[in-house]
Chain A
Amino acid sequence: MKKLKRFLLIAILLALLPGFIFAGGQKEKPKVTFFWALYDGLTEDFRASLQDAFMKANPDIDLDIVPVPWKNMHDKITTSLAGGNPPEISVIGTRWLLELMGMNAVDEVSKYVSKSTLDNIAPGAMEAKINGKLMGLPVAAGARIMAINSSITTFVPKTMEELRQEAIRVNNPPNVYGLIMPGKKHTELTDFAYYLLAAGGYFFEIKPDGSYGKCTVNSPAGVKALTFMNQLANVDKVVQKGYLSMNRMESHPVFYAGKAAYVFIGAWVESAMKQAKSNFKPIYAQIPPFKGNKSTPLIITDSIAFFKDAKNLKAAGKFIDFFYQDKWKAKFDELVGFPPVTISASKLPQFQTPLYKTLGEAALNAKGWPLMDGWAEYSDIIWDAVQNVFLQKQTPKEALDEAAAKIDKARGM
């Protein structure tokens, strides 16, 4: 028995020995973990080459760029924070920032990123500057636009009503659909937002001091927007077949495949079409407003946040300085299709095309998401309302009244 015990003890020591030798013999390198959002158009080659190039230039730092699909990013960050193991840095939707600040999870960017990198960011892109502190470094900012399949129609509608007429005219399912309408819930509420803004509405009342009042999705503009969406989908039936089972990622390929005339889309359209080997030339235009309203596209900004409880924030700042050089950041912008947020990259010839011109114009009048705690839940409630209308369970007025009441209740109003 004693022999057996002795044997076990020796075996355990032998098993641990290599670890001790390794730990004692080598100084551990600081490791930077970066949750890297998988934007449409972004390639694995680019991620890997950026990681390798940084580690070659900085052999004293270990970099792990972790690719995360956009739809899982919020949950991934939350679980890592809840587990007490946040990454050093992560791409976040700027709309999540207040929530993260409420958790006391993020730190000021300017503590870690060099002044020269910060000075190269377009001031208009600094949406994440809260109370004078930059809490998220802009990584992508792009207004949404309309893309038109010129092999189906070259008509550029000036109003939503004109868009509907043309969509009805060209609609010839299953070969050609009038326009794309994602009806399955996905991370963002973009699709309802396009129509809501086009009708002159917004999600919340904005008080004179800039704070948010009651939910206004059930305003006449909101009801008009949802009624119109329902008309396109269920009355005119000009949207892609099975729209209720398709989210953005599943429905946009129908446009890339040349089967839809119109799509409301983001800056990634060109690179995504290239990857899908689309064989038509798109026309880019503004998302039209409803008659009597002014054009108000949706603008979405994403940022890079630094997480307070991570260990190697200084090394992470060093990586950001490396990444924000034109060599890498401009390439990133080109792949994902967003207009550059850095001043130097915006002057490069590849960003002077019709697409970027349209995106630039759209940004002038665009509105962003409400920056508020709990937005993930509220947008989910609005999504449910939109789906209930699509499923003909409720009228637009009923569904949006219910959603607004739920949101107000959740906000304690």
Chain B
Amino acid sequence: MSSQAVVIKKSKLLNEEARLAYILLAPAVIVLVAFMFYPIIYVFLMSFFDTDKLGRLRSFAAFKNYKVLFQTKDFWTITGRSILWTVIGVTTKTLFGLIIALLLNIEYRGRKFARMLFIIPWASAVPISAMLWQWVYNPEFGLLNFTLQATGIWKNPPIWLGQPISAFFACMWVDIWIGIPFMSLVFLAGMQAIPNELYESAYIDGVNSFQKFFYITLPGITELIMIATLLSSLWTFNDFNVIYILTKGGPGGATDILITSVYKNGFEWLKFNIASVMAVVTFLILAIVSIVYAKIYFGRERK
């Protein structure tokens, strides 16, 4: 067989393979377009229209909905709170995740069991975890206040979900508690991929534990930290379940963030146009964060 014939047969084969690939990919593409892109486009459209109580488009409103929302003081408070919620939540999850990953990376008896225990909060359904914490925080029958009082640590503990500041941090803690295992597991996987020889050489050179962490471990998992914190930022910003179950945004709106406000405006008050403007703002904030992350990440890769 001539070399030309081989090339023709190969390209035909590639075409056929490509066609098959398109056929196999088609259902997934259709599903994505129908269930992801269409709703996103529709939300964008709704934000520029007056809508009825079922979210159907009525008349073109240009930027009226945006103007109405941006003139509301509550909107800016809620947006600021959402950013604060995300920054504190992700930072804490990252720090705790790192510490726990370091502890799980050390050789000791029962390490497997410890690793299994740390997965439980992440493996449980979020609503179940939130409901469990709702009972833990209960001022009358809850485990937390009972323990604090019984042990004498805090004679008059706060009513965790009853005051604005404590409710905000109580909700945040539940979100952190649920999110830590993911961070720990990702960091742990990264740590285990670092060649052991690096640590052995460092040991021979008399390097201490802190130096090992800052000069070997941390640089070794920096890219993973970036990806994990980006994902965690997206999830934390959109964490609806914990707040909705624990406080429904209360007391007095103190735990309302953009995503709970979108739900309230849309499905409780049936103001789908305003809810969609909020959803668009959420989308834009998260898109900006993702682009900045991507730029830094790929910039590092090129270096």
The residues of A with any CB-CB pair to B shorter than 8 Å are: 1, 4-5, 74-75, 78-79, 81-82, 99, 102-103, 105, 174, 183-185, 240-246, 250, 254, 259, 374, 376-377, 380, 384, 387-388, 390-391, 393
Contact = CB atoms under 8 A, between A and B. Distances in A.
15 contacts: A1-B16, A1-B20, A78-B268, A183-B251, A185-B249, A185-B250, A240-B140, A243-B162, A244-B159, A244-B161, A245-B138, A245-B167, A374-B269, A377-B271, A391-B251
Contact of A377 (B13, B20, B268): B268
A78 B270 CA distance: 8
Interface residues of B, number: 33
A174 B157 CA distance: 14
Given A5-B20, A103-B53, A391-B163, A74 B268 contact: yes
B52 interface: yes
A380 B268 contact: yes
B270 A99 contact: yes
B251 A82 contact: no
Contacts of A246: 138-140, 162
B54 interface: yes
Closest 8 CB pairs of A and B: A242-B139, A244-B162, A245-B162, A245-B161, A242-B159, A377-B269, A387-B252, A75-B267
Contacts of B272: 82
B179 interface: no
Contacts of B250: 184-185, 387
Nearest to B250: A185
B290 to A, nearest CB: 28
B160 interface: yes
A87 to B, nearest CB: 15
A380 B16 CA distance: 61
Interface in B243-279: 247-253, 264, 267-272
A178 B19 CA distance: 76
B181 interface: no
B237 interface: no
Nearest to B271: A377
B13 to A, nearest CB: 7
A388 B253 CA distance: 9
Contacts of A374: 269
Interface in B82-103: none
Interface string B153-188: 000000111111001000000000000000000000
A254 B159 CA distance: 16
B55 A82 contact: yes
Interface centre among B159, B252, B268 (most CB of A within 10 A): B252
A75 B13 contact: no
B48 interface: no
Contacts of B20: 1, 4-5
Contacts of A259: 140
A1, A245, A380, A390 — which one has the most chain B CB atoms within 10 A of its CB?
A245
A405 B59 CA distance: 27
A103 B159 contact: no
A82 B54 CA distance: 5
B118 interface: no
A230 to B, nearest CB: 13
A243 B138 CA distance: 10
Nearest to B13: A1
Given A240-B140, A377-B269, 6 more contacts: A78-B54, A78-B267, A183-B162, A185-B248, A185-B250, A244-B251
Nearest to A251: B140
B252 A376 contact: no
A5 B50 CA distance: 49
Given A245-B167, A391-B251, A103 B139 contact: no
A48 B20 CA distance: 49
B49 interface: no
Contacts of B54: 78, 81-82, 103, 105
A391 B252 contact: yes
A305 B164 CA distance: 38
Given A1-B16, A391-B164, A241 B267 contact: no
A245 B267 contact: no
B163 A75 contact: no
A276 to B, nearest CB: 12
A243 B268 CA distance: 24
B133 interface: no
Chain A CB within 10 A, most for which of B13, B55, B162, B164: B162
Nearest to A240: B140
B156 to A, nearest CB: 10
Nearest to B268: A376
A375 B214 CA distance: 58
B240 interface: no
B251 A184 contact: yes
A280 to B, nearest CB: 17
Interface in B52-106: 52-55
Contact of A242 (B17, B138, B164, B267): B138
A241 B253 CA distance: 21
B139 A245 contact: yes
B24 to A, nearest CB: 8
B131 to A, nearest CB: 12
A75 B138 CA distance: 26
A300 B273 CA distance: 31
B270 A245 contact: no
Contacts of B161: 184, 242, 244-245
A377 B266 CA distance: 11
Interface string B103-139: 0000000000000000000000000000000000111
A243 B250 CA distance: 13
Given A82-B55, A376-B268, A241 B140 contact: yes
Nearest to B161: A245
A179 to B, nearest CB: 15
Contacts of B138: 242, 245-246, 250
B7 to A, nearest CB: 18
A105 B54 CA distance: 10
A241 B139 contact: yes
Given A79-B267, A242-B159, A377-B269, A384 B252 contact: yes
B16 A393 contact: no
